[in-house]
Structure 1
Amino acid sequence: MSSEPGRRVYLDSASGVPLHPAAREAFAAALDAAYADPRRLHHAGRAARLVLDNARAATAEALGVRPEEVTFTASGTEAVHRGLLGLHRGAARRGAQIVHTAVEHSAVLHAAEWSGAPTRSIAVEPTGRVRLDDLGAVDLTDTSVVACQSANHEVGTLQPIAEVAGLLGGVPLFVDACASAGRLALPEGWSALAASAHKWGGPPGVGVLVVRRGARWRDPFPDDERNVPAILASAAALQAVVAERETENLRHHSLIGWIRGVVGELEGVEVVGDPSDRLPHLVTFSCLYVDGEALVTELDRLGFEVASGSACTASTLEPSHVLAAMGALTHGNVRLSLGRDTDEEDVGRFLEVLPGAIERLRARL
């Protein structure tokens, strides 16, 4: 793809990915074949149910889980809520406390708060990685569930899920995998896991909840898997992304490494997150003496669409609790996340205009 001056470049795929061509094709086909309620016994309902079951099987195969473990929800946020609260309810006899890392997405924090249960936050390293020694020192006797994300949605740092699971002594582990599902293989050791289709090129309005067979999980809300065309489209996109992810991940990892190297040399700019144990497509950096919202606006004027503020409460532009927990600068931060169409020319042109954008904003102060 050409990166001629004036062409807009979307660098916010961590928030949402354009619909994958495979999803568009599947969605169009399902509109005619799966419009009915799949719970009905008439012909149209049974046809929709068949499509739904096929989508479930395809999703399970792509994720490496069993079809009966997969449930579709109306969003990744709903999948997070149902997964965490379902494990909490299922372990009510064991205890009431919910333990989570300090860098979880707001969906996890809100669900824990909504439950009314006592909560405990586990500190992280400056890279965003959970402090395993701190977790291991926690008395989990009265704990119903521990929540630890697979990868951080703001800085890309991967969490050691298998090691976390090994410290829990049988306490259920909930994993928010919305940032990594599809791009990376699922980790091991969890009891329930949530994912979001629009993060891998499926349509908005589809989340995926996976509950391991044998896990003590009690559904906190009634389920409703009726958006069958969108569910099929999400499954088609997931299969396509998984098939091409090895090549795409290598390409993105190299481009992000380039960005990290150049941006890290700029005066007063700090690149955050783990430099190597990270999502392949994402990088965040913070700039001294620069307002994040102003930098996003300036880059948008130049044709580059990026994110700032807290990635999980971006509409408020509140300081990021993730960066605060890491001890990083919470203002003047920018997150770039690459997509299928991002190429070297896009990145090169971004790196050309970034220093000037920062200098202009600092000069206004």
Structure 2
Amino acid sequence: MTHATARRAVLDAGGRAPLLPEARTAFLEALDQGWADPRRLHAEGRRARMLLDGAREAIASVVGARTEEVDLAPSHTAALHGAVRAVARGRRRTGTQVVVGAVERAAVLNAADFVGDRVTVGVDRDGRVDADAFTAALGQPGVALAALQHANGEVGTVQPVDAVHAAARAAGVPLLVDVGASLGHAEVGATWDLLAADAGDWGGPGGLGVLVTRSGVRRSPDWPEDEDRWFPGGVSVPAALAAAVALQVAVSTRSTDDDSRRRLVETIRTRVAAEVPDVEVVGHPVERLPHVVTFSCLYVEGEALLTALDSRGFAVGSGSACTSSALEPSHVLAAMGALTHGNIRLALPRGTQEQDVERFLAELPGIVAGVREAWGVGGL
């Protein structure tokens, strides 16, 4: 098979997975049934409201919450921003500190900086937050909110959420848990006070976020009043229904998907480390998401390697936060003390074929060598 005719192998589903067929069907049906404004009182509006409430109910059932605790946001980032801003304002008499892990999403870190004083807790070489240090930070006066991801979407490492939540509860501080990389792929548990998720990551439509807030957590918006209090303007009803259907499908097939993708990821971790010179495979080897694997190659930029892989038919991601306008390394890898350049991240979609992974592993050493040669570092 030549490079020109090689079929595409999509190995980058982090945050935007292929839309599940069941979600597509639900979306198209809802375009006919749920097109109306769900705030209207006519029959069409009431039908749309019924579909929207049904979607919230289905999501609530999966995460172990009540329907009224589920809010739908126009994006995962909006859900995270809204949670941090509203809770910090609602608890402003308590203090202005927001305790976060060093490898949280930029959306969380930026929101914490926006609302007050960010207290950042470090991580180990695997990207796992120091639970004792987090507990100590929670015990200080003036903490309004704590935020800890369930697992890191860049390197796959699962965080000690149970221990941190117990400490947060003892300190009387609500804990926001970001499950944007986990929900639908792994069991996220019930140790949280606020839960933020991303429908695009589990095979639902992109552009829809979820925020679940336990009763008793005080929130106060810092934005203009709107009929939809928490996320003004509302969301697409067809997108909401498709997201709920996709989540139900993802959870029902999770066990099979987990076995298949975890086996493929283990193969990738082992063979990349053995067959590619000067490479570092990062993330916890065991306590990890089943579908995410990241490695960094010395002597090469991640963007150059990503482009070379793309030209050979492989869609992969890069943990590097570098863009043409902001040449900065990944804050996650930097916090871990790992190589921040030459980084490739795979997030395997459901149904990833073993033959695609085998072809990727067969071609990767030559592709890396070719990029290094082009950069004039092939002999190092």
SS at structure 2 position matched to 1:49: helix
Contact 1:150 1:187 in 2 (8 A): no
Alignment CA distance shift 1:309-1:183 (3 Å): closer
Counterpart in the other structure of 1:269? 279
* CA-CA distance at 1:5 after TM superposition: 6.5
Matched, 1:61 2:61: yes
1:88-129 CA-to-partner distances (Å, cap 9, x unmatched) read: 1222121111111110101101211222x1111100011000
**Distance in 1 separating the partners of 2:95 and 2:209:** 28
Contact 2:208 2:235 in 1 (8 A): no
The residue correspondences of 1:140-159 to structure 2 (distance < 5 A) are 140-159=140-159
The residue correspondences of 1:69-218 to structure 2 (distance < 5 A) are 69-115=69-115, 117-138=116-137, 139-168=139-168, 169-218=171-220
Contact 2:99 2:119 in 1 (8 A): yes
* CA-CA distance at 1:267 after TM superposition: 1.9
Counterpart in the other structure of 2:372? 362
1:314-359 CA-to-partner distances (Å, cap 9, x unmatched) read: 9856310000000000000100110123111011000000000111
Matched, 1:251 2:260: yes
SS at structure 1 position matched to 2:346: strand
Contact 1:106 1:312 in 2 (8 A): no
Which of these residues, 335, 338, 344, is aligned with residue 354 of structure 2? 344
**Distance in 1 separating the partners of 2:343 and 2:260:** 24
Counterpart in the other structure of 1:35? 35
**Distance in 1 separating the partners of 2:277 and 2:95:** 50
Which of these residues, 302, 321, 327, is aligned with residue 337 of structure 2? 327
Alignment CA distance shift 1:308-1:244 (3 Å): same
TM-score, normalised to structure 1's length? 0.95
1:163-195 CA-to-partner distances (Å, cap 9, x unmatched) read: 011222221111111010111222332111100
1:285-311 CA-to-partner distances (Å, cap 9, x unmatched) read: 001111111100111111101111436
Matched, 1:228 2:227: no
Of 49-58 and 223-232, deviating more is 223-232
Matched length: 361
Amino acid in structure 1 at the alignment position of 2:258: N
**Distance in 2 separating the partners of 1:88 and 1:24:** 37
Cα root mean square deviation, aligned: 1.7
Structure 1, unpaired ranges of 5+:
none
**Distance in 2 separating the partners of 1:6 and 1:308:** 22
Matched, 1:310 2:348: no
SS at structure 2 position matched to 1:179: coil
TM-score, normalised to structure 2's length? 0.91
* CA-CA distance at 1:312 after TM superposition: 9.6
SS at structure 2 position matched to 1:62: helix
SS at structure 2 position matched to 1:186: coil
- Matched-pair identity in %: 50
Contact 1:100 1:147 in 2 (8 A): yes
Contact 2:122 2:335 in 1 (8 A): yes
Which of these residues, 287, 311, 314, is aligned with residue 297 of structure 2? 287
SS at structure 1 position matched to 2:253: helix
Contact 1:173 1:190 in 2 (8 A): yes
Alignment CA distance shift 1:70-1:315 (3 Å): farther
**Distance in 1 separating the partners of 2:334 and 2:53:** 43
Counterpart in the other structure of 1:296? 306
Alignment CA distance shift 1:57-1:250 (3 Å): same
Amino acid in structure 1 at the alignment position of 2:220: R
**Distance in 1 separating the partners of 2:133 and 2:323:** 27
Alignment CA distance shift 1:242-1:93 (3 Å): same
Alignment CA distance shift 1:353-1:242 (3 Å): same
**Distance in 2 separating the partners of 1:314 and 1:240:** 38
Alignment CA distance shift 1:185-1:66 (3 Å): farther
SS at structure 1 position matched to 2:149: coil
**Distance in 2 separating the partners of 1:204 and 1:357:** 31
**Distance in 2 separating the partners of 1:29 and 1:352:** 42
Contact 1:183 1:249 in 2 (8 A): yes
Contact 2:320 2:341 in 1 (8 A): no
Structure 2, unpaired ranges of 5+:
224-228
**Distance in 1 separating the partners of 2:290 and 2:322:** 20
* CA-CA distance at 1:86 after TM superposition: 1.9
1:17-49 CA-to-partner distances (Å, cap 9, x unmatched) read: 111111111111111111111111111111111
SS at structure 2 position matched to 1:278: coil
Alignment CA distance shift 1:88-1:261 (3 Å): same
1:41-84 CA-to-partner distances (Å, cap 9, x unmatched) read: 11111111111111111111122221111110101111111112
